Amino acid sequence: MGAMTKIRGHPRRCLLGALVGAIAATALVIAASFVLRPPPLAFSVADARSGATDENKAAFLNLTLVAGNPSGRAAVEYEALDVMLWYGTTDYIETNTSLLLVGLAAADEAALLLQPPRNATAVEVTARTLDDRFVQEIVAGEGRRTGPFNVAVAAQVRFKVAGVVYTRPYNVRVSCSDVYFVVADNKSAAATASSTPIDCHG
């Protein structure tokens, strides 16, 4: 009888052990998710400036996108970054985005940028349009502002914690509304123009 009781006790101990293991694994996943959860990234638009070129046949629009990583422990690896410029909600102006890495180039060539903790990186965004509506508005607005424009940012990022652990990829989408460009009479003057920074929101 004692042997039979001992034999029947094995499944119970196995079930209890499996239950304890499942609870421990769940707790580990929750703890890891808490530690590795992505911090909120901060984006803003600064130094929006515009002007006419080519004998007033074209117009350029330049802005600086400031990408901020406020986390104190996680680096951010950008795998894709796209900045879209809209005049109102219907007129799209194609942009050319270039990262100012300033020595922050990622070791992984597949990544655009590996941003360390507590870092802000400038992304220069340029656009050029031949649309006569924009050109004439910018020419007529010298010394003033033109807009409003909407800036949309789409990025794919991964977070790198403790220098070794990567999270899954995250898609980040934010928009910056009511962006006005300071109008200058030429590129050299536009380089010294500045505008009020605009925060972006998800």
CATH number at residue 85: 2.60.40
Q: Which two tokens stand for residue 141?
A: 């607005």
Q: Give the H or E element holding residue 11.
A: helix 2-36
Residues 117, 27 within the same domain: no
Percent above pLDDT 70 for the chain: 66
Residues 45, 77 within the same domain: yes
Q: Is the pTM of this model over 0.85?
A: no
Lowest mean pLDDT, pick from 20-34, 84-98, 119-133, 143-157: 20-34
Residues 8, 63 within the same domain: no
Residues 59, 14 within the same domain: no
What pLDDT does residue 174 have?
A: 95
Residues 22, 105 within the same domain: no
Lowest mean pLDDT, pick from 9-13, 35-39, 109-113, 176-180: 9-13
What pLDDT does residue 141 have?
A: 64
Q: What is the tally of structural domains in the chain?
A: 2
Residues 32, 45 within the same domain: no
Residues 15, 54 within the same domain: no
In DSSP notation, 165-197 reads EE---EEEEEEEEEEEEEE-SSHHHHTT-----
Q: Which of 91, 172, 100, 154 is nearest to 127 (CA)?
A: 91
In which band, very low, low, confident or very high, does the pLDDT at 171 lie, cut at 50, 70 and 90? Answer: very high
Cis bond upstream, residue 38 (ω within 30) = no
Q: Distance (Å, rounded) from C-alpha 72 to C-alpha 69? A: 8
Residues 88, 55 within the same domain: yes
Residues 129, 117 within the same domain: yes
Residues 19, 67 within the same domain: no
pLDDT mean over 84-97: 80
Reported as a single tens digit per residue, the pLDDT across 124-163 is 898 888 887 778 877 776 668 888 889 999 999 988 887 7
Reported as a single tens digit per residue, the pLDDT across 99-113 is 544 334 444 555 667
Q: Distance (Å, rounded) from C-alpha 142 to C-alpha 126? A: 19
Find the domain containing 108 and state its range. Answer: 39-199
Q: Distance (Å, rounded) from C-alpha 43 to C-alpha 175? A: 9
Residues 14, 70 within the same domain: no
